[in-house]
Amino acid sequence: MNPLYGGIDLGTQGVRIALFDATGVMQAEAHRSWAIPDVTSDFHEQDADKWWARLLDAADAAFASLPAAERLRVRGLAVASTSGSLLVCDAAGRPLRPAILHSDRRSRVESEVCNHASGLHFRPSFSLPKLLWVRDHEPHVWQQTRRALHPADWLTGKLSGAWGQADETNVLKMGYDLAARRWPDFIAALGIPAALLPAVRPSGQVVAPLLPALQQRWGLANQVLIASGITDSNAVHLASGSATEGDWTTTIGTAMGIKGIAAYPVNDPSGSIYSHRHPDGLWMVGGASNVGGAVLNHRFGLNTLATLESQLPSQTAHLVYPLEGIGDWFPLWLPAATRFETSVPSTAAESLLATYEGLAFIERLAYDRLAESGLPVHLVTAAGGTNHSLAFLRIRATLLPCPLRTVADCGAAKGAALLAAMACERVPMADVTPRMVGTAQTIPPNPADQDYLADKYARFVGLLRTRCSASSAPLIPSHSTP
């Protein structure tokens, strides 16, 4: 019997569940969305119980779309979620307050406390500073807190009943030492009880079976296994099929995440680059920019993009740094950066073209910085919701220093499903990827625009450094082996 593996992607804007067979062909899917936080606010929260209700609704629809006999083929599920978001829960996994999202910026002071205690570079987007914020500002919540979890950890618990479990990618931003594979001493020195911290295992390992009540609800067979999850950008990297050094993935969702395969961790002194463990023991090196697809929804509205794209001019002198909110840390360290543009566009279509170019300039700058650090850049796979735009892909393909490709269904849900297959079959990811990742399509550049985009990119970088007071510290990583 050809098994089915399910992946769940919990993002800022919604949740998706998708089921794939052992060759990677999707058999069913469903998606439920919700409102995104106000990007102008420092406080970004969501109700985790609503996440769960929407996931149940999506899963009900996905499984119902399969004939009863087909549902018996389901063997495993795994979860991917945003990186750095935090839930504080009681011992039974009940959230004690709304989830604090990765984009929340309230814990600036607490991030400096973490930096001083650890000698590392924590940012307000990380989960450990958020945990300190809860302790220091909501003592009534802190007194009841028994578990500090990330969204993927929490959904894994809701599916399996196995609480206090986490994967190696999600715990990085809570301070876990991935090289030593332990919680470091400085966390206890900060006053965080060890009992609050989850037990950690690699992504793609069996956690526990699916709860019987959910198995019955969806008409599944016995022993559907729940696998340890992963952060969403790392899940996308798995789904992209990237497998060798120099293979990179750019995921443009709400933000922009960049990941590449390395044989060793890369630890940048500024904290702009960090390394996650690959399920097979390699390393996934990369960084994340606050510049991303959020600008398209906020400035244009996703429903109007197709209309505007049909009106795009061939070129524009207008130049935009398309940051929503304040501050960025990759590819340049810009804690006080804000959006800027050099003129007033004559039409919304011209503004959209300049925004696409601004996003592409940040991506190119990221790969230039990685190459300066000694990391090879041979191939980039594009992922995320912006892949629907061929115009945007052509701009990126023209500007990047290497080929750009797309892969069918290169989403976080697909990457999570690969982990479920890995766990259920008890094989390396290297055995799963060749048969479950779709065929790649190379995006052709536009030679007529190469000089135009190269000149505009150089001007963009100069303005970015000047107007946003970029850090002058060189981005030179220190290489180390575990």
Residue 39, pLDDT score: 63
Residue 218, pLDDT score: 98
Tokens encoding 374? 């000694």
**Closest Cα to residue 342, out of 355, 330, 328?**
355
**Closest Cα to residue 10, out of 65, 67, 69, 52?**
52
Contact 319, 456 (CB under 8 A): yes
How many CB atoms neighbour CB 267 within 10 A? 17
Contact 262, 275 (CB under 8 A): yes
Which of the following CATH numbers is that of domain 242-409+439-473: 3.30.420.40, 2.90.10.10, 3.40.50.300, 3.90.1150.10?
3.30.420.40
d(CA 479, CA 482): 10
Residue 303, pLDDT score: 80
Q: What is the dihedral of CA 237, 243, 244, 245, to 10 degrees?
A: 20
d(CA 357, CA 403): 17
Residue 6, pLDDT score: 98
Residue 474, pLDDT score: 42
pLDDT tens for each residue of 172-212: 999 999 999 999 999 999 999 999 999 999 999 999 999 99
Beta bridge partners of 21: 4
d(CA 364, CA 404): 12
- Distant-in-sequence, close-in-space partners of 460: CB < 8 Å, separation ≥ 6: 319, 321, 358, 361
Domain 4-232 of CATH type 3.40.50.1390: no
d(CA 226, CA 153): 11
Strands 283-289 and 256-262: antiparallel
Phi, psi at 396, each rounded to 5°: -65, -45
Low-confidence ranges of the chain (pLDDT < 70): 1, 39, 269, 470-482
Domain boundaries, the chain: 4-232, 242-409+439-473
Residue where the block lists tokens 């950690």: 200
**Closest Cα to residue 277, out of 434, 481, 6, 10?**
481
**Closest Cα to residue 420, out of 261, 224, 215, 188?**
224
Q: Helix/strand/coil (H, E, C) string of 370-433?
A: HHHCCCCCCEEEEECHHHHCHHHHHHHHHHCCCCEEEECCCCHHHHHHHHHHHHHHCCCHHHHH
d(CA 422, CA 230): 13
Q: What is the dihedral of CA 455, 457, 459, 463, to 10 degrees?
A: 180
Residue where the block lists tokens 């990941």: 259
Cα angle, residue 273 at apex, residues 270 and 279 outer, rounded to 5°: 145
Contact 477, 373 (CB under 8 A): yes
Say whether 256 sits in a helix, a strand or coil. strand
Packing angle, helices 232-239 and 412-425, rounded to 10: 80
d(CA 134, CA 27): 42
Tokens encoding 393? 């892909």
